Amino acid sequence: MAAPLLLYGGTFDPPHAAHGRLPQLAGQAIGASRVVWIPAAQNPLRTEQSAPPEDRVAMLEALLAGNAEAEIDQRELRRGGPSYFVETLRSFQAEDANIPLRFLIGADQALQFRRWHDWEQILDLAHPVIAPRPPHDRVALELVLEQLDEGQSRSGWWRGSVLDLPLDDVSATKLREALAESDQAALQAGIPESVLSVIRARGLYGRSDA
């Protein structure tokens, strides 16, 4: 069987250190042939306004500049509207049905995965790869998912998918707050200087001095 293709979607608003690090680690763990970052046009489960797509791509490019093997795929941005991941998976499958598809999500998304549009169809197209996140390590996250699954359809969809990766508590929400408050320590801990330079140059998140 061919090595899997690992897809990692998100708004990347802003992209932070974990957005670059965890997909690489996950890709190595599953023996992925490639890891592809996919910026969303519009997250259907998110209400707040994002930075413009071209700015989010520029920040993501800055984040991944040191990774020669990183790929950024903009098909969701070209498609526009709500970024339903099931449509993205169908388009990848149409390009090459022989390559197994995997998709990386964090613990927060795993816990609300049943809210995703056509989530059962997503599982028919690709296998999940789940990264734990504080306060849940791998064992704790599996226990919570087991409890949420009780009596539900497709129970156990996550079994064998939770990786034992380093826990990372960085979040884009907290970093947007840090940008608004000029919390330099929090910013430097979560956002690489290359991304901060893009934020400054473009005056994103109301900052020109991040």
Q: Residue 35 is encoded by which pair of tokens? A: 């890891």
Give 167: exposed, middle or buried? Use CB within 10 Å, 0-12, 13-18, 19+: middle
CATH number of 5-168: 3.40.50.620
Instruction: Give me the chain's average pLDDT, please.
Output: 92
Pairwise CA distance, residues 151 & 115, whole Å: 16
**207 falls in which pLDDT band (50, 70, 90)?**
low
Quote the pLDDT of residue 132.
95
Quote the pLDDT of residue 209.
58
Among the ranges given (15-19, 66-70, 104-108, 138-142), the one the predictor scored with the smallest mean pLDDT? 66-70
Q: Rounded to two decimals, what is the model's pTM?
A: 0.92
Quote the pLDDT of residue 39.
98
Give 169: exposed, middle or buried? Use CB within 10 Å, 0-12, 13-18, 19+: exposed
Among the ranges given (25-34, 69-78, 180-189), the one the predictor scored with the smallest mean pLDDT? 180-189
The domain limits of the chain are 5-168
Residue with tokens 């140059």: 201
Phi-psi region of 107 (alpha: psi -120 to 50; beta: other; left: phi over 0): alpha
Q: pLDDT at residue 100 above 70?
A: yes
Q: pLDDT at residue 49 above 80?
A: no
Name which residue leads in pLDDT, 68 or 31: 31
Q: pLDDT at residue 210 above 70?
A: no
The alpha carbon of residue 53 and the mean position of all alpha carbons in its chain are separated, in whole angstroms, by 15
Residues 180-201, mean pLDDT to the nearest whole number: 85
Quote the pLDDT of residue 24.
96
DSSP one-letter string for 98-113: TSPEEEEEEHHHHHTG
Which SS3 state, helix, strand or coil, does residue 194 take?
helix
pLDDT tens digit sequence for 151-165: 888 999 999 999 999
Q: pLDDT at residue 200 above 60?
A: yes
